[in-house]
Amino acid sequence: MTRRGLLIILSSPSGAGKSTLAGRLRAWDETLQFSVSATTRAPREGEVDGKDYYFVSVSAFQDQVANAGMLEHARVFGNYYGSPKAPVQTAIESGRDVLFDIDWQGAQQISNSALQEHVLSIFILPPSIAELHRRLVSRGQDAADVIEGRMQKSWDEISHWDGYDYVLVNDDLDNTEAQLKTIISAERLRRSQQPQLVDHVRSLQSQFGERT
């Protein structure tokens, strides 16, 4: 292994471009692994266990939480959702990066987890509130009341921008994509991500000793 993997967290208010950027990152680097969440809700038609979600019972989910087996978790509309630690740990120890598309609460939990030294957190801001609203409307996916609910929620999400390692303003999708690639490429070279450096430095020190 030449390096350890990163836990790459992308967060943003709905409509800021997070999902589009996540898709572009995975197209850029096909080894980038998307985190598969666990959930206690029943599978929907076409969903595959282990691919779309890990479908588990409430008791199994709660056992994992009690045994520190979840990097982050939350209860949403009566069902539990969370990110199992074991597959993520296996990935980063094998040198593979794992991408998380989660909100600020999940990001905070992961940043405070046992794997925090491998976390790279990035928040995506819209260029303006008017543009955020325009993007939500132009998607054509939600009714007006749903869009208004997303807009109201966006302020709470934006207020947590300062809890991230990097913050990007997505005023141009191509430019933001390029910035993300630069950040990830640099963070992959972080000293803590390169376990082989210790042996290399020791080898250099040994070579100095051989000269005397």
Could you report the per-residue pLDDT of 148-196, keeping only the tens digit for each?
888 888 888 999 999 999 999 999 999 999 999 999 999 999 998 998 8
Using CB atoms within 10 Å of the CB of residue 118, give its burial: 0 to 12 exposed, 13 to 18 middle, 19+ buried. Answer: buried
Of 153 and 59, which is predicted with more confidence? 59
Confidence of residue 85 (pLDDT cuts 50, 70, 90): very high
pLDDT computed for residue 150 by the predictor: 84
pLDDT at 119: 95
Task: Tell me what pLDDT residue 128 has.
Answer: 94
What is the spatial distance between Cα 12 and Cα 17, in angstroms, rounded to a whole number? 8
Q: Which residues contact 71 (CB under 8 A, 6 or more apart)?
A: 7, 82, 83, 84, 85, 88, 109, 110, 113, 115
Which helix (H) or strand (E) element contains residue 120? strand 119-125
Q: Which of 11, 23, 52 is nearest to 35 (CA)?
A: 52
Does the predicted TM-score (pTM) go above 0.75?
A: yes
**pLDDT range class, residue 212, cuts 50, 70, 90:** low
CATH architecture of 7-34+97-210: 3-Layer(aba) Sandwich (3.40)
- Confidence grade of residue 141 (pLDDT, cut at 50, 70, 90): confident
User: In this structure, are residues 30 and 143 in contact, taking their beta carbons and an 8 Å threshold?
Assistant: no
Better-predicted residue by pLDDT, 44 or 7: 7
Pick left, alpha or beta for residue 159 (phi over 0 → left; psi -120 to 50 → alpha; otherwise beta).
Answer: alpha
Q: Which residue has the higher pLDDT, 77 or 197?
A: 197
Average predicted confidence (pLDDT) for the chain: 91
Q: Are 5 and 92 in contact (CB under 8 A)?
A: yes
Find out whether 159 and 125 touch, Cβ atoms under 8 Å: no
Quote the pLDDT of residue 144.
85
